[in-house]
Amino acid sequence: MPNNFDSLRLIFAILVILSHSFPLTRGSNDTEPLMRLTHGQITFGNISVWAFFVISGFLITQSWQRTPKIVKFMKRRVGRIYPGFAVAGLLTALIVVPIAADPATYLPISLQSYVLNTLRLQTFQYPAIFMHNAQPNLLNGSLWSVAYEFWCYIGVMLLGLAGLLRRRPVVAVLFFLVIGLHLYMDVSGWAPSGAILGQIFGYPPFWATVLPFYLAGTLFQLYGGHKLLRLPFIGVAAILLIGSNFIPHGLILTMPTCGAYLLMALAYLPSLHPLNLGRYGDFSYGTYLYAMPIQQLLVMRAHGQISPWLLFAEAAPLTILVGVLSWFLVERHFLQRGSQLKHEGLIPLQTTHTVTSSSAASSHPFTSLEPAPQRTDVSLHIDGPRHQVSQRGTH
């Protein structure tokens, strides 16, 4: 069935640029539009990264179910994530850091630091940079989500190998347990560091935030995908989501449930099909990878005297252009031929559907009871947890 995953991924990557324009120029998220609308609860950056995880959970689960082969699965995931990430890190180290660093204290990036941190999908160690920007010493906070995404890929594979993807109630219980854990941590303020395991697998509070969204996408696939979409349910989900904005901690419960459901409804909304933003390639991953360094350079060029909206207007087209170059010059060359044609992707990701002709095939996805037989080739790749732009190396 036709979908809007490519378009949504690029739109959300652009929304990340918009969201980050506020803390990068004003020092905090206080004036970010969605932060104000939700009374300080979430930003457009938050919902964009969460959307990436939902889409990724849906498509990666579908990908594993179609080809449950460890080597093939991991080869695709590594080929989609690492080349773009490695080149973005290299260009940042060779171009951005020398420009942004204080000449008096600048030291070249250590090759060892670059290689080891790239393997871990982390930002390499760097000297003091952007010292006169509103967010000093921040190079690329967006990259935190890539490692979490990759661990989620491995998690889907392990669930598949253990046979748990065929036991949907088990995945559903895990989903609600993680939501409950996130709610408890948010209410109590409990934030374990995870010690050495946290260093390896990620910060536990971040996992409590992003894992429900990934599992939401997984469950949507396991329970039937677009066949779950119904107009009455969409209306109820929207009402609950809006209402929860006025209840303390309410969005923790409704964003990975109602919010994820509404996102999947957008993914199959026929009126968005003409956008087809992925017709020439999957540019969202490169857009996501390069956005913050470009924004920081623009802020530095303006000596900090730039408004959030002007920064967004300047950074968005430039970053999309770099994302296009990243796709054509780097990313697509590491995908299988068939995957290139389908723009099989990461933080950005794509699916191509060929639906057999029938009256049901053209029916509205929100009202059809039984879709026509269909063939779907899916590949996915993604990005991240809650954005903390004020933290170095995280978003």
Tens-digit pLDDT profile for residues 123-152: 999 999 999 999 999 999 999 999 999 999
Q: Can you tell me the distance from the alpha carbon of 295 to that of 98, in angstroms, rounded to the nearest whole number?
A: 16
What is the rounded average pLDDT of the residues 297-311?
98
What is the rounded average pLDDT of the residues 260-275?
96
What is the rounded average pLDDT of the residues 11-34?
98
Residue 269 CB-half CA count within 13 A: 15
- Give the pLDDT confidence of 310-343 residue by residue, as tens digits: 999 999 999 999 999 999 999 999 987 555 444 4
pLDDT at 337: 56
Predicted structure pTM score: 0.86
Tally Cβ neighbours within 10 Å of residue 342. 21
pLDDT at 353: 35
* Whole-number Cα distances in Å, 383 to 46, 323, 365, 375: 11, 15, 27, 26
**One-letter amino acid identity for 41?**
Q
Three-class SS string for the chain? CCCCHHHHHHHHHHHHHHHHHHHHHHCCCCCCHHHHHCCCCCCHHHHHHHHHHHHHHHHHHHHHHHCCCHHHHHHHHHHHHHHHHHHHHHHHHHHHHHHHECCCCCCCCCHHHHHHHHHCCCCCCCCCECCCCCCCCCCCHHHHHHHHHHHHHHHHHHHHHCCHHHCHHHHHHHHHHHHHHHHHHHHHCCCCCCHHHHHHHCCHHHHHHHHHHHHHHHHHHHCCHHHHCCHHHHHHHHHHHHHHCCCCCHHHHHHHHHHHHHHHHHHCCHHHHHHCCCCCCCCHHHHHHHHHHHHHHHHHHCCCCCCHHHHHHHHHHHHHHHHHHHHHHCHHHHCCHHHHHHCCCCCCCEEEEEECCCCHHHCCCCCCCCCCCEEEEEECCCCCCCCCCCCCCCC
pLDDT at 105: 86
Of the pLDDT bands very low, low, confident and very high (cuts 50, 70, 90), residue 1 is confident
Q: Can you tell me the distance from the alpha carbon of 229 to that of 30, in angstroms, rounded to the nearest whole number?
A: 35
Average pLDDT, the chain: 87
- Give the pLDDT confidence of 370-386 residue by residue, as tens digits: 233 333 332 323 333 33
pLDDT at 277: 95
Q: Can you tell me the distance from the alpha carbon of 60 to that of 47, in angstroms, rounded to the nearest whole number?
A: 19
* Whole-number Cα distances in Å, 275 to 2, 7, 270: 12, 7, 10
pLDDT at 366: 45
Tally Cβ neighbours within 10 Å of residue 66. 13
Tally Cβ neighbours within 10 Å of residue 98. 14
Q: Can you tell me the distance from the alpha carbon of 375 to that of 1, in angstroms, rounded to the nearest whole number?
A: 8
Tokens 């209306």, located at residue: 235
